[in-house]
């Protein structure tokens, strides 16, 4: 099996699980109205992750249609060409650019709301638990509009920087295409996500350390009657942001290997590609698993509902009137 096609399959599975996990998070959020602002930001971050996964699904299906399907048909016909490449028009077409734009924008939305969540979390720990209306508007601008304007994604599309990557460190889906020089590609890769991703790593680490310091010193400034409830609700969110670092780090490692022309074995390269394919597509699914494991009351509530439904169904199969008639 081709290396990129194996990576596409892994990414397709993890992306599908992310879409399902994200939908379940949205359902739980919509039927449960007892949420604070951090939980709302967590949902906003998940929206970016679900868009990201959906774009990956489209990109992997496109890769199958353009390469695997074409190559298989070529062998059936009996031609000598493996047909593992297509024309530049197909590799940089509207679908490829559209998928690149969606995944780029979605990843930046996820990074932006991760930073918003972290900053708000730290302000919670400092006692500023009620953000002003202006700060909320700023967070929405940073979370939804800034990824388009500041990172110049639309300009990247217009100059042809987004498309398919056919390089040694390429991936099955479309993102930043091969351009005239390596330096230009590195620049567009940084602007289209890697710089903001690394910046998010740094912010995550710094705020995580500060929050853990406040937790250990027991300096959460809140009313005494709400301290326990607030502690339970906000102490889990620093770990949610660590998820971003743990599942996205493999793509960052491959990026630095490309930047510094590092030589790695084929086995290491394959493992990194597979781990990147799994990690990049699994963000929303990992968020869902994290949400369940850090919300025991929610798990107990839904488990209780499932058991009640089973009891009601089993009880409805036994009609007490029939039993009474038979006894007579």
Distance in Å from the first CA to the final CA of the chain: 70
Residues 255-282, mean pLDDT to the nearest whole number: 92
Q: What is the mean pLDDT of the chain?
A: 77
Mean pLDDT of 232-257: 77
* Residue span of the structural domain in which 305 resides: 298-328
Distance from C-alpha of 11 to C-alpha of 17, rounded to nearest angstrom: 10
Determine the Cα–Cα distance for residues 150 and 303; give it in Å rounded to an integer: 45
Residues 261 and 310 placed together within one structural domain of the fold = no
Return the minimum-mean-pLDDT range out of 58-62, 218-222, 282-286.
218-222
pLDDT in the model for residue 49: 93
**How far is residue 231's CA from residue 208's CA, in Å, rounded to a whole number?**
15
Residues 273 and 317 in one domain: no
> pLDDT tens for residues 297-311?
666 766 676 667 666
Mean pLDDT over 239-257 rounds to: 84
What average pLDDT score do residues 144-160 get? 70
Do 101 and 177 have their domain in common? yes
The yes-or-no verdict on residue 122 having pLDDT over 80 is: yes
What is the arithmetic mean of pLDDT over 177-187?
Answer: 83
Determine the average pLDDT of the residues in 44-71. Answer: 87
* pLDDT band per the 50, 70, 90 thresholds, residue 84: very low
Is residue 248 located within the same domain as residue 267?
Answer: yes
Pair (128, 235) in one structural domain:
yes
pLDDT of residue 87: 45
- What's the number of domains the chain is made of? 2
State the Rg of the chain over Cα. 24
Does residue 220 register a pLDDT over 60? Answer: no
Q: Could you tell me if 57 and 177 lie in one domain?
A: yes
Q: Is pLDDT above 60 for 328?
A: no
74-88, 117-131, 144-158, 187-201: range with highest mean pLDDT: 187-201
In terms of pTM, does the model score above 0.75? yes
3 state DSSP class of 292: helix
| Pair (235, 302) in one structural domain | no
User: What is the CATH classification number for the domain harbouring 30?
Assistant: 1.20.1070.10
| Pairwise pLDDT comparison (79 vs 99), residue with the higher score | 99
The torsion of the CA quartet 246, 247, 252, 257, rounded to 10 degrees, works out to 90
Contact present, 182 and 16 (Cβ < 8 Å): no
Please check whether residues 209 and 306 belong to one and the same domain.
no
Q: Percentage of residues in the chain with pLDDT exceeding 90?
A: 22
Mean pLDDT on 316-322: 44
**pLDDT over 50 (residue 228):** no
Residues 191 and 279 in one domain: yes
Least confident of 115-129, 147-161, 162-176, 255-269: 147-161
Are residue 205 and residue 104 in the same domain, yes or no? Answer: yes
The predicted pLDDT at position 78 comes to 43
Confidence band (pLDDT; 50, 70, 90) for 125?
A: confident
Name, in order, each residue with C-beta under 8 angstroms of 53's C-beta and a sequence gap of 6 or more: 14, 15, 16, 18, 19, 22, 281, 283, 284
**Pair 103, 59: CB distance under 8 Å:** yes
8 exposed, middle or buried (CB, 10 Å; 0-12, 13-18, 19+)? buried
Q: Rounded to a whole number, what is the largest CA-CA distance in the chain?
A: 92
Residues 8 and 110 in one domain: yes
Residues 120 and 175 in one domain: yes
- The residues that bridge with 176 in the sheet, in sequence order, are 162
pLDDT tens, residue by residue, 4-41:
889 999 999 999 999 999 998 898 888 876 667 888 88
């Amino acid at each position: 099996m081709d290396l990129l096609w194996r990576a596409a399959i892994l990414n397709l599975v993890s992306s599908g699980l992310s879409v399902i996990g994200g939908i379940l998070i949205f359902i739980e959020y919509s039927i449960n109205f007892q949420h604070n602002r951090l939980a709302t930001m967590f949902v906003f971050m998940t929206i970016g992750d679900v868009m990201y996964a959906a774009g990956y699904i489209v990109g992997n299906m496109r890769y199958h249609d353009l390469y695997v399907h074409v190559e298989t048909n070529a062998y059936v016909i009996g031609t000598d060409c493996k047909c593992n490449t297509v024309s530049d028009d197909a590799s940089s077409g509207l679908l490829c650019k559209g998928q690149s734009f969606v995944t780029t924008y979605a990843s930046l939305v996820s990074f932006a709301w991760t930073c918003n969540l972290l900053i708000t979390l730290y302000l919670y720990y400092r006692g500023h638990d009620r953000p002003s209306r202006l700060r909320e508007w700023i967070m929405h601008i940073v979370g939804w509009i800034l990824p388009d304007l500041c990172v110049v994604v639309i300009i990247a599309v217009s100059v042809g920087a987004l498309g398919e990557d056919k390089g040694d460190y390429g991936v099955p889906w479309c993102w930043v295409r091969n351009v005239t020089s390596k330096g230009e590609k590195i620049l567009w890769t940084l602007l289209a996500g890697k710089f903001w991703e690394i910046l998010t790593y740094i912010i995550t680490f710094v705020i995580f350390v500060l929050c853990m310091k406040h937790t250990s010193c027991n300096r959460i400034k809140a009313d005494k009657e709400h301290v326990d409830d607030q502690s339970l609700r906000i102490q889990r969110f620093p770990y949610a942001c660590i998820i971003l670092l743990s599942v996205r780090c493999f793509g960052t490692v491959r990026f630095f290997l490309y930047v510094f022309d590092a030589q790695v074995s084929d086995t290491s390269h394959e493992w990194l590609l597979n781990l990147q394919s799994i990690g990049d597509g699994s963000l929303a699914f990992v968020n869902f698993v994290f949400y369940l494991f850090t919300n025991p009351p929610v798990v107990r509530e839904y488990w209780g509902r499932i058991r009640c439904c089973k009891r009601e169904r089993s009880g409805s199969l036994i009609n007490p009137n029939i039993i009474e008639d038979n006894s007579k």
